[in-house]
Structure formats: C-alpha cells, structure tokens
Amino acid sequence: MTTSKGHYYLGLQQATALSNSGLTLRRTCNAIAKVIAKSMGMTGCRVLLLNPKNEYLTTVGSFGLSDLYLRKGPLDARKSLPEVLEGEIAIVSHAPSDERVQHPEVAESQHVVTIIASPIIRGSDVIGQVRVYSRQERSLSDLDQEFLRAIGNLCAVVLDKAELSQFKERVKRNCAKAPRQVLPAHVPSTPLKPTEFAHESEAEFAHLLDFYQIEWLYEPRSFPLAWNGDGISQMFTPDFYLPELDMYVELTTMKQDLITSKNRKVRKLREMYPDINVRLLTRKDFARLLAKYGYGPLGEAKVAGVGRVLFSQTQIKRKVRSLARRISKDYVGQRIVMIGVLKGVMCFMSDLMQQISLPVKTDYMDISHYGGDGDIVKITRDLDCSIAGKHVLMVEDIVDTGMTLNYLLTHLESHRPASLRVCSLLDRKQRRLANVKLDYVGFEIADEFVVGYGLDYHGEYRNLPFIGTLQEEKGD
C-alpha cells in the first residue's frame, strides 16, 4: 500500500489534536495508535514505554491487536528488536521466523507477518517505541520513515506531559500530607507509571511496590486456560509481574466466592504452566510477601519514620556485586586487607567481602568525635594487625565532608602500606570539605539524611534492608 504525503499530514494533524485533548494517557495513546495504523494502512499499532533500566517495554496504548497478542508476556527490550534502543527503525518481514521476535508462536497464531518499530526519543535518550503490525508483507518507504519519526517525536511530548502531570500530582499529595515540608532543590526523577488500575487495591499494591523500589509490570501477560476449537475460550491475566522476583501476583478481596474462583484459575495455571511462579494475595498478604523477600516488615512498624526509599535491597545487592567485580579485577593476584570504621560500615563491608574473589583479611577501627562541633577525631580502637607492605582497602558506608576520612587515611599512611585505596557505598559530595580521593563509589546522593543498611539515627534503623530518607517531623 502506498500512502500519500497528504494522508500522513492529516494523520499528524489528528494525532497532534489528540495529544492536547485532556484525555488520560492510555486513552490518548490508544487513539494515537489508531491514527498511526489507519494512516499507514496497517492492521494494528501500539505505543510502548521503556522502563528506566532499559529492560522492559510496557504498552501504554494500542489499536487493532488481540488481547492475547498484547499480553503474551513482558517484552525484553534487549531481545525484542534491540536495534531500536540505538535509535534505529527496525523492520521484520516475517515475524514467525525472525529471531528478533520474542514470541514468534503468538505472532503466527495471530497472523502477524510484518512488524515495524520506530524509537520514541527524548533528547538523546530512547524512552519508548511505536510499533505497527500487518498481516501482509510490507516494505518501508522514506515517507513511512519520516512519518514514524515525526509521530515518535509527538509521542515523546505526550509521555513528557503525562510524567509532568503525575509529578505535579505527587507534589500535591506530599504537600497535603506535610504542609510545612520544603521540597529539596534536586527532585529525583521518578519513572512514569502509565497505568489505569481496575481496582483501588491494585493501586494500593503498586504504591507499596513503588515505596520499596520494586520493579513491576501491570497485567503484562494473559495465559490461555481453555480452548473452543481453534479459539481461546478462557484466559487468565494476573494483575502484576515482579521481574526482580520473577513472580506473577493476582490480588483478591476477602469475598469467599472471588477467592474460590481465583484459586481455581491459579491452580489450573500452575498445572498448565509449571514454570510460572504465581501467587494469589489478599490485602493482608501484602506485608507478609514483602517481608519474606526482605523488603519490609510485617505491619510497617520498622519503617514508620522513613520518608522514601532511595535504594532498594536489590539495587544495593547489584551495586555491591559490581563494586566487588571491579575490586577483584584491580587486585588480581594480590591479597588485600579491608579496614572499616564501626559501626555503620558493618552491613556493606560484610556483603562486599563475600563477593570479592580474592584472599581477604579484615580489620576494624573505632573513633569518637569531640570539640566544639565534634570536628576533632580520636581513634578509640586501632588496628589489631600490621598493614606495613600490604594492599589496604578502606571501606566506608558514607563520605560527607571527608574530614574524618582524611584524618584516617593520614593515620593509615603512617603504617606504610603497599597501597591504600578507598571504597564508599555512598558519596555525599555537596558536603565535601577535604580533598579526598574515592577509588570506588556505589551511589552519589543529595544532601539529605539517610538511614538503613547499617546507617542509623539515634541507634535505630540500621537493620533496614534498604537505604531511605527520614521523614521530617511536623511542626507544632
């Protein structure tokens, strides 16, 4: 099919009007997907959003595609037409046989032959894709490419607008909860959540997952459970998929008839798809599930004073493994002595040394601060063993002004080690006064007080499995 410039111009006009229509994100993207498919003479279209880690693609709008095709499973952005991540337009001439198609059997069953994918780019970053589908083989003209590029730019504006709207809504909610709280100068970027939930319990569960920084996808896959001839007569679509736990979650109320019906479907799903990990949860099961995987305590008592989670347990584990790999590579063939200052470093140092693939010795120091502003350091416990001629790695939980670290490094240098490097999980550069070099850094953080993973406030919060900020107390 040949599409004229006039036809594409009309399509862009319609899509532009929709982008400023005031509809919800999903309805806007559904309508734009329809315009794209009709303008190009294609069977279907969908608008996909890339998650912040560039791992998964989530559908935010679609037209002309079956529910089975839309929910055939999470799309892995690095496997499903990966060239689009580099800003290129990809074309698949025969979807059932192309290795870049993640679910070729579903494409064949739904008679999808041609797939064309174009990036949605914001600045220099790919943030999503527009994909169009045809039941016949289609080529891609220069005019087709120009239209897809233009519509991708428009979709980027639509997603930006939705993200700004969600940010303003979050600010509004936060101000309502704590009117006297001053917003930080640097507001961390929050991923767009383009989801319209079917039930308030789903929104509540999603907010809980967001608090603990647990990645989630909403209704990403439908599982056929029964067939009527060549057609599917029954499907089951779990509410959430948690990629980090590789778990599907279906929520239910306490109504016994609903629990019985969903239990029956879950049992059938487990029988037919034994490799799928699926859980049926009631509202009371939420905290128990999170506690089991180390994300939170039963009942929220342990995190009552936490304002927000900066780094989840999973993020910390990944970072520790990454640091350990770098350290192991840099010290290959050598033995190292890891030195930490009690007590905040205990969690980080313990996890780090277990991941290092070299012979490791450990030693600890303890210090106290005194003086007018506590700016004078005194070593109350020195090293047990000599470090002369040895490779020393100073391990810190957090570096602020660098004054204490500078004093300790001078002290350690006086013992004449063969080498002396510093590894810190957190770096708060805004407070830096001393010019100290950090050789390995986990995360850079803003100028705010943090707790968890060994860091405390008046002796509490060290045992949190994540790192978060403290809530500001409301004034009288």
- Residues classed as catalytic: 400
Compute the distance between CA of residue 457 and CA of residue 205 in angstroms, rounded to an integer: 28
The encoded tokens of residue 220 equal 């990403």
- 296 phi, psi to nearest 5 deg: -175, 165
Give me the sign of the Cα torsion angle 182, 188, 189, 190.
negative
Q: 347 — phi, psi (to 5°)?
A: -65, -50
Rounded Cα distance, 389 and 416, in Å: 6
Q: How far apart are CA 421 and CA 261, in angstroms?
A: 60
- Which two tokens mark 448? 């705010």
Nearest Cα residue to 329 out of 472, 415, 439 = 439
Residue 391 has φ and ψ, to the nearest 5°, of -85, 115
Q: Could you tell me which of 103, 104, 74, 76 has the C-alpha nearest to residue 247? A: 74
Tokens encoding 393 = 């790695």
Q: Are 398 and 344 in contact (CB under 8 A)?
A: yes
C-beta separation of 232 from 106 below 8 A: no
And the tokens for 63? 């037209």
State the Cα–Cα distance between residues 468 and 357, nearest whole angstrom. 29
Burial of 22 (0-12, 13-18, 19+ CB in 10 A): exposed
Output the six-digit token pair for 412: 């350690």
Helices (H), 76-132: 104-109
Residues with Cβ within 8 Å of residue 143, at least 6 apart in sequence: 3, 5, 8
Tokens 């319209």 correspond to 196
Distance between CA atoms of residues 9 and 146, nearest Å: 11
Q: Which of 240, 208, 381, 394 is nearest to 309 (CA)?
A: 208
